[in-house]
Structure 1
């Protein structure tokens, strides 16, 4: 007897309940942190272009640390190499969670966001190289327009008071997670100085010890904090950018809870979840804004802004972020849907995907870091930073126009996704299902498991 195949779930349909909760928790903190980041960037720009500019530069360039350990750094470098490590540690945990229990755990679910993210990195880099080649510029900054700043993007959505559906937010979050992985790989491979094998060996030993402690379910921050700091310091002195240590530790931490049995106690939360719960507010609300405060203070005079559009390196960054990101992500998503015969959620339109692609052109935090790593000439670095700021502003404005036009649709979908009339903490849509099977959650078993676990 012929049994017709089940229809494929649509792109950007209702998320499984566990994934919906995880995304909601992550984005809530990132949104608040994004607003703080936005405020820090504004303060940096105002301060750096005010009569108190010398005070800003003196504070930014003030050195302190432990010279005997090779850690005598400026305030700006402490924020970039030190505090930003917390951002990448949280990103590493996020990536591990996505690989183990999230959207990236199976090839079928990982295909779309990974292809879109990779295309959203390759196309901007290629457009930068094309622009600098045509203009006789330097190719060093090809990595600058590759990354998406999820916190800044979410801050834009918060300012707009939009109600973007959870599936589109999850897509943006997954894009940013894959972007962060790409960024850290680029940093580790292309932006390393002369290597100190002994120091790198020591960092590897510290990471292996953390892995062993995780394997044997050893708890206690007093084990992990000193080992983490040692891995970071040794990585820095080994010639590899210190933020790589943060991602490595994040990938080592367990993100799957022990359910009990085999002599192990059941866990309410995994080590990765507990660490993320503690560090995400610090990363989003302190580390990234402080980095922005000392990285975004660039001149915004008429001549400086003019160079963004006339010099090949900043122009390449601008086009890479605003045009390259949009074309790369949208084209990859459309082609992936077309060749897999998937269909878009009937409640959405391709204009919604275009808005997300444009929003991904906000490349603030990691793009600023890449600009500092790619160029040694302070004048060029200032131009690149100005280009990142202008590009992020343009992407935000265009995305705002696109999102506001569809906000009525988003509001209706958001209300449907969050309605909980019986007050049991589970949105009604996950209990009653949908009349149209094609727009149900793509993993019904996971929804049922989430409901049973909640109860």
Structure 2
């Protein structure tokens, strides 16, 4: 029989984290903080370039074809950034999700239910707000309903690193776990709503590649000359199947074992990792710096370059697509997350952990309104690169993400001071929920 602390009837929301949850959170914070800064740098450079006297060179490079005839791949530079490079980002998302499910906060129903419900609420309400504004518009506008549903983990972590020192570790972990679940749901949406048809034979070939990858890594085989060709083959076959090719990345990440390695495989791990590290932890250690330091900033560079001249801005303000995206991110995200969390607290008869208030949850919900990477990707998938509504949606994503970051910063900075005065310490001090 479970003790009273394991009972869902009495366990407080955002209580003490498990050892695996603490370890996963530390890895994410360490790996993504600088990535969020580089993401912003990439986006700022894109905006400056796209609005400079050399703006024609930006669109020329972004839209230049970079075909591989032998593989029947006819993609532009911008499409390679979105479909190719971003697969690495989704691979890291898949690995994060696997670690959370096996060793982190998604391992137990009692701790998983809150971030999962919050992620669902944080996607449903923005989508409903977007559709409420855009259904009357018709003419393709409703197709962008998923744009305001995503949370950018790198950007959110960078902001959290600035203001979260005195916040309880469980609250910070809530945002990170929520963002990982959010990414999974966004991947499902992309696979279902934004894929071009389906060729079953190619999909089965992709599944075979992922299966072969899984068999190798489960035996502790991590040599690059076997796994990277298999991963590329999985990407190629997924692309040919009609499903967005980045889905191959998350599938490969999800099959990485998240249990400690044993024997000779553990001896081959890098010195920076402990002897009880898993293949999933090793992959995250290896690929997160590439994802956050190279892949995502390059994607932002070739995606966030939109014109901000007065005529475009006036058209964007008048476009219901931009309004739906902005209101969905800034209002829909915090409302959906707080409402879903409150509903869970009522149905499970669980209070917030000592020292926490609903304003803390509101601050986290505001930060979750930072859309960016996946939102920009969905905007391109919904309307097409260079389409006026794609440009308007991207402007809304950029401006709404900045506003959400400012609002979240203000709330969490204030709450951090409150926790500090109460003697509540963050992750660095190891006591995350004392009063």
* Pair in the same fold by TM > 0.5: yes
Q: Between Structure 1 and Structure 2, how many residues are aligned?
A: 420
Give the distance between the partners of 1:14 and 1:322, measured in 2 at CA. Answer: 29
How far residue 45 of structure 1 moved from its aligned partner, in angstroms, is 0.8
Give the distance between the partners of 1:21 and 1:265, measured in 2 at CA. Answer: 18
User: CA-to-partner distance for each residue in 1:44-88, whole Å, 9 max, x for gaps?
Assistant: 111111111112112212222412212232111111011110110
Give the distance between the partners of 1:320 and 1:84, measured in 2 at CA. Answer: 24
Aligned to 2:343: 335
Aligned to 2:317: 309
Is contact 1:162–1:410 with CA below 8 Å preserved after alignment?
no
Instruction: Report 1:184-263 matches (<5 A).
Output: 184-258=187-261
Give the distance between the partners of 1:410 and 1:68, measured in 2 at CA. Answer: 60
How far residue 14 of structure 1 moved from its aligned partner, in angstroms, is 2.9
The answer as to 2:333 corresponding to 1:325 is yes
Alpha-carbon distance change, 52 to 247 in structure 1, aligned in 2, over 3 angstroms: same
User: CA-to-partner distance for each residue in 1:94-142, whole Å, 9 max, x for gaps?
Assistant: 1111111111112111111111101111111111111102445621001
Alpha-carbon distance change, 211 to 317 in structure 1, aligned in 2, over 3 angstroms: same
SS at match of 2:353: coil
Aligned to 1:114: 116
How far residue 218 of structure 1 moved from its aligned partner, in angstroms, is 3.2
Give the distance between the partners of 2:183 and 2:89, measured in 1 at CA. Answer: 10
Is contact 1:162–1:404 with CA below 8 Å preserved after alignment?
no
Aligned to 1:281: 289
Is contact 1:70–1:237 with CA below 8 Å preserved after alignment?
no
How far residue 259 of structure 1 moved from its aligned partner, in angstroms, is 5.2
2:415 paired residue among 406, 415, 433: 406
Alpha-carbon distance change, 411 to 283 in structure 1, aligned in 2, over 3 angstroms: farther
Aligned to 1:391: 400
Alpha-carbon distance change, 253 to 5 in structure 1, aligned in 2, over 3 angstroms: closer
Alpha-carbon distance change, 15 to 371 in structure 1, aligned in 2, over 3 angstroms: same
Is contact 2:163–2:416 with CA below 8 Å preserved after alignment?
no
SS at match of 2:135: helix
The answer as to 2:302 corresponding to 1:294 is yes
Instruction: Report 1:372-451 matches (<5 A).
Output: 372-376=380-384, 378-411=387-420, 415=425, 417-419=427-429, 427=430, 429=431
Deviates more, 1:58-67 or 1:390-399: 58-67
How far residue 159 of structure 1 moved from its aligned partner, in angstroms, is 4.7
2:149 paired residue among 146, 149, 168: 146
Give the distance between the partners of 1:415 and 1:360, measured in 2 at CA. Answer: 22
SS at match of 1:237: helix
Alpha-carbon distance change, 306 to 417 in structure 1, aligned in 2, over 3 angstroms: same
Alpha-carbon distance change, 417 to 268 in structure 1, aligned in 2, over 3 angstroms: closer
User: CA-to-partner distance for each residue in 1:320-369, whole Å, 9 max, x for gaps?
Assistant: 11111111001111111122111112222111110001110110000000
Is contact 2:164–2:412 with CA below 8 Å preserved after alignment?
no
Give the TM-score normalised by structure 2.
0.90
The answer as to 2:102 corresponding to 1:93 is no
Aligned to 1:176: 179
How far residue 213 of structure 1 moved from its aligned partner, in angstroms, is 1.9
Alpha-carbon distance change, 414 to 67 in structure 1, aligned in 2, over 3 angstroms: farther
The answer as to 2:89 corresponding to 1:64 is no
Structure 1 residue ranges (4+ consecutive) displaced by more than 4 angstroms after TM superposition: 4-7, 159-162, 263-267, 410-417
Gaps of 5+ in 1: 420-426, 431-438, 441-455
How far residue 242 of structure 1 moved from its aligned partner, in angstroms, is 0.7
Is contact 1:162–1:403 with CA below 8 Å preserved after alignment?
no
Alpha-carbon distance change, 161 to 194 in structure 1, aligned in 2, over 3 angstroms: closer
SS at match of 1:104: coil
